[in-house]
Amino acid sequence: MVIKQILNTNAVISNDENGQDVLLLGSGLGFKSRNGDVIDQERVEKQFILKDKNHKSQFREILDTVPQEYIMVAEDVIDYAVQVYDMTLNETIHISLVDHIYHAVENFKQGFVVPNSILHDIIRFYPDEYKVGQKMLDLIEAKFDYRLSNDEAGFVAMHFVTARHNQISGNAKKMIVMVSELNDLILSELNFQVKEDSLPYYRYMTHLKFFAQRVMTKYYYKEHGGARMLEELLRNYPDEYHCSQKVCKYIEDKYHYKAGHDELIYLAVHLSQLKNS
């Protein structure tokens, strides 16, 4: 294999035997290298294929914003899921998982822990995915000496649930329609342009998908106060706050799902990040 494109000192793109672009990760793999150089296979630690051009762009942004060690931990978790539980996964897991792990650790450092109100249901209905989440906790503790909560194992499990369900079932079709409706409403209300290949947009769309799943399955966040946070959002991000209110009202009227304060807060935060990206 030869280097087709250098992404950074630790990541390059090459072609596999079928001519597909394959992303290779390894310490110093791109250091002092040039396109066309033969790749030393012994230095390749991880490799995977990203077919979608938007996914490639998003992963490049991951490489620019997330330290390499988080990427390697995420890939170790993915390898564990594939090898131990024989999971077939959508390529988006390479983006969503590393992004989640990085922000989970950063939030933990700052003392911010997001409670997972459906943890017991995740353990009950998705035991294999939850065990993968537990493995993630072990790997993070071994690498960074932080022990994240079981809530995070549950959140990671849901990333694998989503990545495994590639077939468009009836529920998946309904979810796609709902996400499209919400996205159209939000972009019309806030009236700003978005970069659909950007990481903030990917996070925002991931949040909408999980929101739609909660609406369809009638899962509710357990409320944790939030009055002070609502006041801060209204003061600092009034447009995003009012937009989130309209989205929640739309959901209630059409889908008979009454979103709580926490749901409104999480959506408004994602909208503020999207608008400022």
Q: What count of Cα atoms within 13 Å lies in the side-chain half-sphere of residue 48? A: 22
* pLDDT classification of 4: cutoffs 50, 70, 90: confident
Q: Which two tokens stand for residue 16?
A: 């596999």
Q: Which CATH architecture has domain 170-276?
A: Orthogonal Bundle (1.10)
d(CA 28, CA 97): 23
Sheet harboring 21-25: ordered strands across? 5-8, 11-15, 21-25, 46-48
Give the Cβ contact number of residue 176 at 10 Å.
13
Does pLDDT of 199 surpass 90?
no
Short-list 192, 266, 277, 190, CA closest to 233: 266
Mean pLDDT of 170-193: 82
pLDDT digits (tens, 9 = 90+) for 19-41: 778 888 887 777 777 787 788 78
Top-tier CATH class for 51-167: mainly alpha
Q: Same fold for the domain at 1-49 and the one at 51-167?
A: no
Pick the CATH number of 1-49 from 1.10.510.10, 3.40.50.300, 2.30.24.10, 2.60.40.1110: 2.30.24.10
Comparing 208 with 197, the larger pLDDT belongs to: 208
What span, in angstroms and rounded, lies between the C-alpha atoms of 113 and 116?
Answer: 9
Higher pLDDT, 31 or 224: 31
- Rounded (10°) angle between helices 53-65 and 93-109: 30
Which of 2, 96, 102 shows the shortest CA–CA distance to 44?
Answer: 2
Query: What type of residue sits at position 113?
Result: V
The closest alpha carbon to 126, from 76, 89, 173, 160, belongs to 160
- Per-residue buried b or exposed e for 75-99, using 16+ beta carbons within 10 Å of the residue's own CB: bbbbebbeeeeebebebbbbbbbbb
pLDDT for residue 205 is more than 80: yes
Stated pTM of the model: 0.62
Predicted confidence at residue 167, as pLDDT, reads 40
Tell me the domain boundaries of the chain: 1-49, 51-167, 170-276
Greatest mean pLDDT among 113-127, 186-200, 245-259 lies in 245-259
Contacts made by residues 10-18, CB under 8 angstroms, sequence distance 24+: 10/68, 11/63, 12/39, 14/39, 16/49
